[in-house]
A and B are shown apart, each in its own frame.
Chain A
């Protein structure tokens, strides 16, 4: 938990930025691999996808995704955006996360897109939206603050 630098992740991030083999990065993080959260390039845009699995369900009666899984997708999308689109080479630390849940998550794949609204030297502000069938009808949105690793 201290700042022990393992060069392998930084090196992996540098490589993936060039090769766009995103699965190498998302599989290197145990939690995103477990959740089935990946990064894809769709129509020239970098999106996150959380592939549906029954274990993501938060209520068996309603067959709705657990709110925590949507929070996880939104936060992961923000982290991958920072890792792949800025020069941060270590996993940014979340300072705060606020999620608005707008619609129930159906048992199907969910997408997310993160926008960095401000990137300072130490702190980044990120907004994220998640949707399923219709991007114009997001099911959850978040804004998050991250502490970027000191250069």
Chain B
């Protein structure tokens, strides 16, 4: 998968990127991550609420780990979209700020945008919300490296 161009047509693009989640990334699949929308350099990914994701059994609030996975996945897809193809990338760093507690029982949606990609490094920002983009649960910033030759 060193050079794997994405189709121009949006619906086909979304389908191809979705297949990446189910067929190439077992952990995305295990959490039930679903790519729900794409833009030119933007990916919207949904994490359904599930009892096995709970980090605090007293409150039912989801653990941080699944949120990290969700954001990392959405950021990677945003980079593929920005560059128009699948390519090998690794996460260099990822920061997540938790702005308010997630409400139990509702899905979490990450919206990631790759706002700059150089020949070696891609910069991505993301928010995580539960239906209202203007009132996010978390905001995030990540740096990724392209590892192709």
Using a CB–CB cutoff of 8 Å, the interface residues on chain A facing chain B are 1-2, 4-6, 9, 28-35, 54-62, 66-69, 71-73, 75-76, 79, 90-91, 93-101, 104
Contacts and interface: CB of A to CB of B under 8 A. Distances in A.
Interface string B12-32: 000000000001111111100
Contact of A68 (B57, B72, B103): B72
Interface in B60-103: 60-66, 68-73, 88, 90-98, 101-103
A104 B51 CA distance: 29
The dominant DSSP class at the B interface is: mixed
Contact of B58 (A59, A72, A75, A91): A91
B24 A61 contact: yes
Contacts of A54: 26
A1 B101 contact: yes
Contacts of A90: 56, 58
Contacts of A5: 58
Contacts, number: 145
Interface in B27-60: 27-30, 51-60
A143 B104 CA distance: 26
B148 to A, nearest CB: 12
Judged by DSSP, the binding face of A is mixed
Contacts of B90: 101, 104
Contact of A96 (B1, B70, B91, B96): B96
Contacts of B54: 29-31
Contacts of B29: 55
Contacts of A67: 68-69, 72, 91, 94
Contact of A71 (B25, B68, B88): B68
A55 B71 CA distance: 18
B93 A100 contact: yes
**Considering the complex of A and B, which 10 residue pairs feature the smallest CB-CB distances, nearest first?**
A68-B69, A72-B65, A71-B68, A66-B27, A31-B63, A55-B30, A98-B95, A34-B52, A91-B56, A30-B54
